[in-house]
Structure 1
Amino acid sequence: MSQPLAPPPGRQRAETAVVLALSLAAMIVSMMQTLVVPILGLIQSSLGASSAEVSWVTTATLLSAAVFTPLLGRFGDQHGKKPTLIGVLAVMIVGSVLAAMTDSLLWLIVGRVLQGAATAIFPLALSVLREEIPARRLPGAMALVSGTLAFGSGFALVTTGLLTRGENADYHHVFWLATGLAVVTLLTVVLLVPASRTKTGGRTDLLGALTLGLFLVLLLLPISQGHEWGWTSAPTLGSFAGAVLMAGVWSFTESRVREPMVDMRMFLHRPVLFSNLAGLFVGFGMFAQFLGVSYLAQVPRDIAGYGFGASVLRASVEYLLPSTIASLVVSQFGGVLIRKIGPRLTLALSAVIGIIGFTWLAAAHSSTPSVIGAGMAVGTAISLGYAAMPALIVAGVPPHQTGIANGINSISRSVGSAIGSALITSLLASRTIENLPAGVPPLPAESQFTLSFALAGVAFAFVLALSLVGLKRGQPAPRTEHLPAAEPAAATTAA
């Protein structure tokens, strides 16, 4: 059998430029989610806000992402990925500038809402890759772009620590960094990403977007605010009940709309459904590592009997940066693994490494080398998991649903991250060391860190079960009754 002809060098360079541009864009996505985590205390003291009020700086971005990601992912499939990417980046720049210039908590939250739109960049980037990169290079390209998500999350924590070190720390510098990176990314996308060759067209399912958005807001709001409201309070339980109700309304709406935003057959198709469940557990594990290791590193050993007494900067650079670098390095090889053993087994391998990493953290977190080594294992697991899930989804859905399918997967990871953040924070606060010296703030009992890391290991055990039992080989994409008129042209272009 004759070997396929290699593309001309100019075409290869153009494809590489697209991958690098979209990798930078994906890095921005994850940075927006974790950028403020180390500086919430600084923002609180600078603006004179309460802990409940300042928590909205993270919650606002999460809720914004829940509303805009599926809508913009579908919009990009219908009306063009590049202009949608440019529009999202422009909105994010406006939000970053607003956050960098304001001294008002209200306007800072508004800026964070605008930054939350950045989450839609990732599914749009994967849609561009599916259209522009040939099949033989697509797994590697998707793995690299997906791997930058894990790198961006850790990079944001490290750079935030560097920018806010010293006595006169100013949180505004962090948002100016976000602005600069967003501007560079916008210029890169404008110059290097080609215009969409295929557009499915069709009407935007506003009712589906509204009901899905309300469902996600009602789900994420109590998850992120439950530790402030109380897990058994009326607002928390009422929001969860509302989420269940809106899930039913959304499903009913999408089954009756002629051109639904989310085709329910696609949503319930086994590779998509189980990849989304895996995304939830991987997102949980990522934040369990970030928060658990960061807090553990900062606990003063001379008072608590454990921990490392590190500053925020040292905790970020010494204890979190190695796992971030590991995730970036491994992302270079994710595509090779996917080509050799397939995305399902790559996800299983990710789960095994994650179980090892968190078991290591739970059993041996008393020395710096041990915490760093275990963190690097977890970073490797997260990077491989992020590489495998889009490949599973792309293989399981038709091209015109790539954006919305990966948008839902992004939301599943965000839900997992929110659960991880809320649960780890609540666990660490639920049992503290008794008889601390006067003036020392409450410190978590060491057993709470062990429990947190053990739960994250259990989360990766679920990922292993989903990959080996839930996902099966050779499952064709679901037939859809809502193929847009432009799809035959798209197929011709791909051919």
Structure 2
Amino acid sequence: MTSKSRLALPVACYVVLLVSALQTLVVPVVADIRTALDVSVSAASWVVTANLLAAAVFTPMLGRLGDLYGRRPVMLGVLAVVLLGSILAATTSDLPLLLVGRVAQAASFGLFPLAIGVLREELPPQRLTGAMALVSGMLSVGAGFGLVVTGLLMRNGGDYHELFWLATALTAIGLAGAWQLPRRAGAAAGRLDWAGAALLGLGLVLLILPLEEGNGWGWGSARVLGSLAAAVVVLVAFVLLERRVTHPLVSTRMLSHRPIVVANAAGLFLGFAMFAVFLAVSALVQTPREVAGYGFGASVLAASLVYLLPGTAGGVLTAPLGGRLVARFGAKATLVIAAVLACAGFAMLAVLHAATWEVIVGALIVNTAVTFGYAALPALLIAHVAPAETGIANSVNSISRSVGMSLGTAFVVTMMTRNAIPGPVPLPREAQFVTVFVVGAVLAAIAAAVVAGALPRVRPEPLTVAEVEADEVLGAAGLEVAGPQAGAGPLSEEVPAR
């Protein structure tokens, strides 16, 4: 390896850590942003939602651009956009401009598939699987890092702008690191489906917007019904367009095969569960008990370090365990286990949330379920699609997870703004949180039943843990994974043949 190739692993680890840190930095401070900008709860929540919606569109686009033009230049472009977005967010006190900054930061989601692609190009086969597992673990480390830093910076009522200045500095470091990577030509031919990306983005905004604003607009209002109807029209137009273009953003064939539909529905639920528990627990523990009759009056520091960090930090341990479950019992069984765990975690939070340990354990169980589910999805997909379609299938599943995160955010915000307790600062009633957790438990039970009943029985392939970990990382990144029918090939291009 050249000296620049040796930088591939540390740079990949850093930029993936940056992805998840940018994702979690703002979660505990949504309430602070709302107060500082004097906007409604639903308006402030777009600081999270806009980022996730943009990520659903950007991720497959950026992965495709990396294939066409090379990973290094696309990675540099992404980091430059994220840097500008972070500076904008750090210097503005205007919500629309802040949202523009958060949309620009959403380009960071494309760094994960780009980083994995760099590893496949630069590392020898014997080092690739371990390197990808290490980079994947940075997602959990980065999420925990984001929560810790947020808590520390905001511990004495700090200014949320400091978080975006930190994001600016971290992004600048990533940009300097990516500049040192080797230059490689693009490995694919064709073009990017810009029209499909525009329609997908518009359709998702029209779908999520009325769900976020339904309480204020009125659920039977013309704006809500008109937006939902327009979303249907735009998304149908997107599907029709994707059927006609040579290089679609999303293959519509992936939307009709039953096992893939089930896998995408499971990804949708897992994304929903992840952000529903993040936002609901953060809001619950920061609610003052003396005013609302429940909650802990926790500071942002306590919400970040005491209540949310155990669930994200636990991913460092539970992610490898998820891989072992897939290797031992198969993807379908692991996904059922994940759904049952999520049901148990949400049910516990619905019934038990009066003590600190109850909230911590409930959130930890749900986060563990999400980790197991994310480990199972790539293996589930490769068992039901041809080897040539695994990259497309995982890209569609990545979009499903991002949309699920957006829906989870919208649902929590809708519940938090309904029937509020009157006061200088309206607070949600305890029943609203219970409803969020009950809905999460019900959806998890439905997911378990659907996965168990709708997926055909597949005889598990004799996989090693290393193979499962490689499939998990590649699949989560929306990249191509070798299927059971794939012939043996160099590990730098494919994971080991089955």
TM-score (norm 1): 0.81
Tell me which residue corresponds to 2:112: 122
Question: Residues 405 and 145 from structure 1, CA distance in 2 versus in 1: closer, same or farther, beyond 3 angstroms?
Answer: farther
Tell me which residue corresponds to 2:27: 37
On the 8 A contact 1:120/1:407 being kept in 2, the answer is no
On the 8 A contact 2:68/2:187 being kept in 1, the answer is yes
Pick one of 156, 165, 171 that aligns with 2:146: 156
On the 8 A contact 1:224/1:418 being kept in 2, the answer is no
Which aligned pairs between 1:369-380 and structure 2 lie closer than 5 A? Answer: 369-380=357-368
User: Residue 435 of structure 2 aligns to which amino acid in structure 1?
Assistant: L
Give the drift of 1:278: 1.0
CA distance in 1, matches of 2:193, 2:341: 41
Give the drift of 1:386: 2.1
C-alpha distance after superposition, 1:198-218 (max 9, x if no partner): 712112223333332322232
User: Residue 448 of structure 1 aligns to which amino acid in structure 2?
Assistant: Q
C-alpha distance after superposition, 1:68-99 (max 9, x if no partner): 22322322233333432332122111211222
Which aligned pairs between 1:147-186 and structure 2 lie closer than 5 A? Answer: 148-149=138-139, 152-153=142-143, 155-167=145-157, 169-186=158-175
User: Residue 292 of structure 1 aligns to which amino acid in structure 2?
Assistant: A
Question: Residues 403 and 427 from structure 1, CA distance in 2 versus in 1: closer, same or farther, beyond 3 angstroms?
Answer: same
Which aligned pairs between 1:95-494 and structure 2 lie closer than 5 A? Answer: 95-127=85-117, 145-146=135-136, 148-149=138-139, 152-153=142-143, 155-167=145-157, 169-191=158-180, 199-393=187-381, 404-432=392-420, 441-472=425-456, 473=458, 494=493
CA distance in 2, matches of 1:357, 1:42: 28
Give the drift of 1:282: 0.8
CA distance in 1, matches of 2:413, 2:260: 30
CA distance in 2, matches of 1:271, 1:22: 32
Tell me which residue corresponds to 2:71: 81
On the 8 A contact 1:148/1:331 being kept in 2, the answer is no
The gaps in structure 1 that reach 5 residues or longer are 1-9, 477-487
User: Residue 365 of structure 1 aligns to which amino acid in structure 2?
Assistant: H
Question: Residues 422 and 361 from structure 1, CA distance in 2 versus in 1: closer, same or farther, beyond 3 angstroms?
Answer: same
C-alpha distance after superposition, 1:10-53 (max 9, x if no partner): 89xx79x7566445433433333443233334334444555565
C-alpha distance after superposition, 1:143-201 (max 9, x if no partner): 6655554554454344223212224x212210122123323334444556x66687121
Matched, 1:69 2:59: yes
Question: Residues 36 and 414 from structure 1, CA distance in 2 versus in 1: closer, same or farther, beyond 3 angstroms?
Answer: same
Report percent identity of matched pairs: 48
CA distance in 2, matches of 1:244, 1:83: 36
Question: Residues 59 and 275 from structure 1, CA distance in 2 versus in 1: closer, same or farther, beyond 3 angstroms?
Answer: same
Question: Residues 147 and 363 from structure 1, CA distance in 2 versus in 1: closer, same or farther, beyond 3 angstroms?
Answer: farther
CA distance in 1, matches of 2:330, 2:130: 12
CA distance in 1, matches of 2:47, 2:335: 32
CA distance in 2, matches of 1:407, 1:229: 34
Tell me the SS of whatever aligns to 1:310. Answer: coil
CA distance in 2, matches of 1:215, 1:266: 18
On the 8 A contact 1:255/1:264 being kept in 2, the answer is yes
CA distance in 1, matches of 2:303, 2:328: 37
CA distance in 2, matches of 1:272, 1:139: 25
Question: Residues 491 and 421 from structure 1, CA distance in 2 versus in 1: closer, same or farther, beyond 3 angstroms?
Answer: same
Question: Residues 107 and 397 from structure 1, CA distance in 2 versus in 1: closer, same or farther, beyond 3 angstroms?
Answer: same
Greater CA deviation, 58-67 or 88-97? 58-67
CA distance in 2, matches of 1:63, 1:332: 29
Question: Residues 59 and 370 from structure 1, CA distance in 2 versus in 1: closer, same or farther, beyond 3 angstroms?
Answer: closer
Greater CA deviation, 79-88 or 237-246? 79-88
CA distance in 1, matches of 2:381, 2:213: 31
Tell me which residue corresponds to 1:485: none
Q: Figure out how many residues of one structure are paired with residues of the other and give that number.
A: 466
On the 8 A contact 2:208/2:410 being kept in 1, the answer is no
TM-score (norm 2): 0.81
Tell me the C-alpha RMSD between the 2 structures: 3.6
CA distance in 2, matches of 1:342, 1:243: 37
Greater CA deviation, 308-317 or 395-404? 395-404
